[in-house]
């Protein structure tokens, strides 16, 4: 059945949920009858942007319950919606889009974050290359400045009195004998306050 385009919206309303029909009804009467406007409105409502269609085109997988012909139709639809949303109507624009898409896949993450708001609209490979070159130059300059900075000297941490006493004792013992005696260090150290669980030596037990 060949339906004129001016009647497409009226035929479409009968197939849409009530929530969507109410959304269309809130539009001005002339725009509510315009199929292109309604189509754009629905795409925004379901967040089906050109970038979303690009992602679907790249990541779409074939379902086990569908044929390869079905898969072909689905991928073709995603591709068509992608390029239509970007107004790609010539071979030159399509070529630029494909090349720019490959360049974006290899762009640094920092560059993607910086241009996140306009990422899907940067589809000219020449413009994209210039921005990437500028980004690399700035990052290279920042790295050079970081390497030339004078290192900050950390304040010296003062040693505790106990550690200083052990250090002086070690130096004195080494100068006097020429050898460091680790046993003497601990023998001359003040007794520990902790309970000594070792058995006493040379103790005579008296049996009554």
pLDDT value for 194? 52
d(CA 100, CA 126): 8
- Model confidence pLDDT, tens digit, residues 124-161: 999 999 999 999 998 888 887 766 655 566 666 555 56
Measured between its terminal Cα atoms, the distance across the chain in Å is 123
Q: What is the mean pLDDT of residues 189-205?
A: 53
Q: Which residues contact 148 (CB under 8 A, 6 or more apart)?
A: none
pLDDT averaged over every residue in the chain: 78
Which is more confident, 183 or 111? 111
Q: Cα–chain-centroid distance for residue 193?
A: 55
Q: Is the pLDDT of residue 181 over 70?
A: no
């Amino acid at each position: 059945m060949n339906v004129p385009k001016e009647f497409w919206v009226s035929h479409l309303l009968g197939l849409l949920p009530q929530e969507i029909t109410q959304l269309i009804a809130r539009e001005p009467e002339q725009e509510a009858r315009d199929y292109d406007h309604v189509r754009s409105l629905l795409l925004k409502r379901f967040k089906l942007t050109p970038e979303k269609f690009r992602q679907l085109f790249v990541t779409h997988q074939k379902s086990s319950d569908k044929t390869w012909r079905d898969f072909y139709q689905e991928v073709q639809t995603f591709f068509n919606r992608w390029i239509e949303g970007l107004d790609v109507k010539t071979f030159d624009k399509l070529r630029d889009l494909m090349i720019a898409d490959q360049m974006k896949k290899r762009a640094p993450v920092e560059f993607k974050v910086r241009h996140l708001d306009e990422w899907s609209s940067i589809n000219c490979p020449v413009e994209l290359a210039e921005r990437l070159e500028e980004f690399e130059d700035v990052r290279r300059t920042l790295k050079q400045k970081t390497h030339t900075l004078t290192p900050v000297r950390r304040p010296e941490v003062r040693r505790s009195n106990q550690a200083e006493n052990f250090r002086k004792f070690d130096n004195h013992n080494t100068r006097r004998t020429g050898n460091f005696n680790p046993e003497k260090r601990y023998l001359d150290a003040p007794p520990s306050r902790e309970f000594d669980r070792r058995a006493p030596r040379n103790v005579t037990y008296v049996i009554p």
